[in-house]
Amino acid sequence: MKKSTVNAKLNESPSITHSFTGKNLTAHGGLSPMNKFLSKIGLMKEFNSLFPTQQYNSLKFLNAQIMMAVIFGSLCGINRLSRITNMTFDPLVMRLLGVKKGFNKDLVSTRLKELGERGSRKLHDFFQRFSHDEIRKSGLKSITLDVDSTVSGVCGNQEGVAKGYNPTKKGAKSYHPLIGFVSELKIVVNTWFRTGSSYTSNGVCEFVREISAYLPETVQSVFFRADSGFFNGDLFTQCENYGWKYLVKVSLKGFNKILQKQMWIPDRDGNEYCVFTHKCGNWDKERTFYGVRTITGSKTEEMLGIISEVPVYMYSAFCSNRECSAQDIYKSYRERSTSETWIEEVKGQALAGKTLTDSFHANEMLWLLNAMAYNVGVLARKKTISAKTFEHKTFRDQFVNVPASLQQIVSGFNLQLYENYYFEKQWTEIDRAIS
């Protein structure tokens, strides 16, 4: 059977006008200007260049079109492969993808499985180049890198799932991805899709090395921040070699005994603080630790026949090479809690990890495409003041999933939005900003 590499014309910016006179309603009206935004980024062309489609006589769809359908699904709040294929029968989606009919039910799964490990590696490299290019465009000279792991639960026996750390459903099977954000931009800069048995910090040095390798020269300083799962001497040495600052919560058995011996200084906020140096285990040198303790209650103690009430403390400690007060260290660490909100947006709102096949590498590609959809949403929201602080779901509900219908006219297509649409003003503002 004859085959050749597809050189199909990629219809990234179809001629679609907008108006607010629609009566017959469908949905996903915001995908039209979003597609123009994606066209500016060059996403479809990049996908087609990375994954050229070997076309047989019976093959109708490009790999790039399939990947864009997954991103559209994430932007529309659609997960599961069957629902994504159903979405491709929407007239507007067909127009934006440049297809004449919707996908069959097994197309996305089959094609991603065919791309396999090699495809997932290519997509991961592109994801990092895409993210780091946004850092370069931002002109930032200093960035904060928040790294965390997250449990992505599954129902089934997909390849790579395993029992591991799972605080909500102990003993349940899951994946355990690693994810890093640039806090100033709120975008995912790197992510690894890992088996569920992976420990929190497994591979973190290699993960950080990848980020460092792609960082633009304009970035002069990096502040690495993470929770106690990343308390790792090798990681600290690596950050020091890069000239990075770091702040990581301490996770060390028996460390409270060390904290109890320190000289504590009370502060106006009601906490007590201390600063000291300590060398752990096989570390090559001492490092600076910052402690904070809070009174959580009291207990009765007897000493030399005298009964007295003594306070009960809750201790926390942080290892950092930043030169500042313990109060500032504690405040800075608490600011990383916003990264947990972004993780929830990636998983719960951009639906990363919600669409699965039985193949690990196909699932890795789906995870990366959903994370990319999250990044695209963040970048689009930054174009306007009104949507800048929106969460992914709010942006989707007010801008993407809007009542609209697509009508063919002489000059192309007209996307008609419901004339009484409540968020008409915001929709128009965002449309003009990102188109």
Q: List, for residues 389-423, the tens digit of each pLDDT value.
A: 899 999 998 888 888 777 877 777 787 887 788 88
Report if residue 367 sits inside a domain: yes
Transcribe 268-319 into DSSP letters.
TTS-EEEEEEE--TT-SS-EEEEEEEEEEEEEEEEETTEEEEEEEEEEEEEE
**Domain assignment of residue 11, given as a range:** 3-116+359-434
Report if residue 196 sits inside a domain: no
Look up residue 10 and give its amino acid.
Answer: L
Q: Are both 290 and 388 inside the same structural domain? A: no
Q: Which residue has the higher pLDDT, 213 or 171?
A: 213
Phi-psi region for residue 224, left (φ > 0), alpha (ψ -120 to 50) or beta?
beta
CA pair distance 375, 355, nearest whole angstrom: 18
The residue among 305, 323, 341 that closes a domain is: 323
Q: Which residue has the higher pLDDT, 171 or 138?
A: 138
Report if residue 287 sits inside a domain: yes
Look up residue 254 and give its amino acid.
Answer: G
Q: Is the pLDDT of residue 2 over 50?
A: no
Report if residue 191 sits inside a domain: no
pLDDT in tens, 304-334: 777 777 788 999 999 999 999 999 999 999 9
- What value does the mean pLDDT take over residues 47-70? 85
Question: Would you state the pLDDT for residue 1?
Answer: 34
Q: Which of 78, 95, 80 is nearest to 32 (CA)?
A: 95
Q: Are both 251 and 307 inside the same structural domain? A: yes
Q: Which of 135, 44, 31, 123 is nearest to 430 (CA)?
A: 31
Q: If pLDDT is split at 50, 70 and 90, which confidence band does 28 have?
A: confident
Q: Are both 8 and 91 inside the same structural domain? A: yes
Task: Give the residue carrying structure tokens 């290019």.
Answer: 133
Q: SS in 3 state form for 330-379?
A: HHHHHCCHHHHHHHHHHHHHCCCCCCCCCCHHHHHHHHHHHHHHHHHHHH
Structure tokens that stand for 231 in this block: 């308390």
CA angle 138, 429, 27 (to 5 degrees): 105
Question: Would you state the pLDDT for residue 21?
Answer: 56
> Could you tell me the pTM of the whole model?
0.90
Report if residue 152 sits inside a domain: no
Report if residue 373 sits inside a domain: yes
pLDDT in tens, 149-208: 999 988 888 999 998 877 777 888 999 999 999 999 999 999 999 999 998 889 999 999
Surface-to-core class of residue 367, CB atoms within 10 Å of its CB (0-12 exposed, 13-18 middle, 19+ buried): buried
Q: What one-character DSSP code corresponds to residue 409?
A: E
Contact 376/38 with Cβ under 8 angstroms?
yes
